[in-house]
Amino acid sequence: MAFNLKFKQLCRFWLVCCGLSASIAISFVANADDTNSAENKTVRVIATAPHIVEMLYAIEAGDNIVGTTEHSDYPQAAQKIPRIGNYAGLQIEKILALKPDYIVAWKTGNPPQDLARLEKLGIPIIYSEPNGLESVAQELKMLGKITHKTAQAEQAAQAYLDKLAVLRKKYQNTQTLTVFYQLWAAPLTTIANQAWPQHLLNVCNVTNPFVDLQGDYPQISIEHVLVQQPQVIIIPSSLAEPNEMKGFWQKYPQIPAVKNEQIKLVNSDKLHRMTPRSLDELEVMCDKLNQARAFYY
């Protein structure tokens, strides 16, 4: 029962994300582009998550993708890539028919039994698992190596790190705010510990009162929010995942964020995908929080 609940929660966050240091599963990837013959070969890649697809396009390797999962919708060209499954299951036979050189998989976002079966079939699998903001740059470089797009990957990684450094510096000395991040409305779910959105909040220099709860995506009650009295409520939302619930909070004017009209909406499609594009929406979120600072201070 507990496992099923945990899996459902993970699936829900996967959809929100479609709307999280790379772990390399095979040792010979490091030598993938050592020979001239390898350099001239078009590497066929199956990308099993939207953030992987975005990163491959970011390094000009979108044409290398021969299959992906549902919800891989950015950039627009990605919508034409053949589908080989979704967060609930991968179509093994279809994957085999596409004859990939590599599968780049999301370790915590794809069914482990399907990945284990693919490994037994001998298809090289590389695991994507960004565990912090800087790790996005590392993954871009890794993907550049296996697709022979090293120069493009280095450029994209550096641009990403440069923008991240600018954002960190801009907000590092600002006055802090108490922020409730509503990851999901029903059940009411927030973020904690090493959750991807928590890393983003840290850049904006705000305090999450639930950061030390057990797990990265804990469920809480309305009463928890009432006790913590957040100054700002952030609600990530998108057309695919309408998570607003903004009107609901109007029943609780005793919460400073509600009383002072400091409920901020952000684009979950951009913010929750672990790609360079997340920094664009991070900048928007930090700016909205800065507006709240101007109100309170």
- Does residue 56 share a domain with residue 11? yes
Residue 17's pLDDT is 53
Query: Looking at the chain, which runs of residues are DSSP E strands?
Result: 45-47, 65-68, 85-86, 89-90, 102-106, 125-128, 179-181, 232-237, 263-267
Section 1-17 average pLDDT: 47
Instruction: Using the 3D structure, point to which of 136, 168, 200 is the last residue of a domain.
Output: 168
3-class secondary structure, 223: helix
- Does residue 161 share a domain with residue 36? yes
Tell me the pTM.
0.86
Section 15-26 average pLDDT: 42
Instruction: Using the 3D structure, point to which of 137, 168, 199 is the last residue of a domain.
Output: 168
Round to whole Å and give the CA distance between 57 and 189.
Answer: 31
Residues pairing with 235 in the sheet: 265
Instruction: Using the 3D structure, point to which of 168, 194, 212 is the last residue of a domain.
Output: 168
- Does residue 242 share a domain with residue 106? no
Residue 194's pLDDT is 94
Count of domains observed in the chain: 2
Sign of CA dihedral 179, 7, 101, 28: positive
- Does residue 153 share a domain with residue 212? no
3-class secondary structure, 23: strand
- What is the share, in percent, of the chain residues with pLDDT greater than 70? 85
Identify whether the C-beta of residue 32 lies closer than 8 Å to the C-beta of residue 38: yes
Q: Is the pLDDT of residue 292 over 70?
A: yes
Range of lowest pLDDT (25-29, 174-178, 191-195, 249-253) = 25-29
* Domain housing 229: 174-296
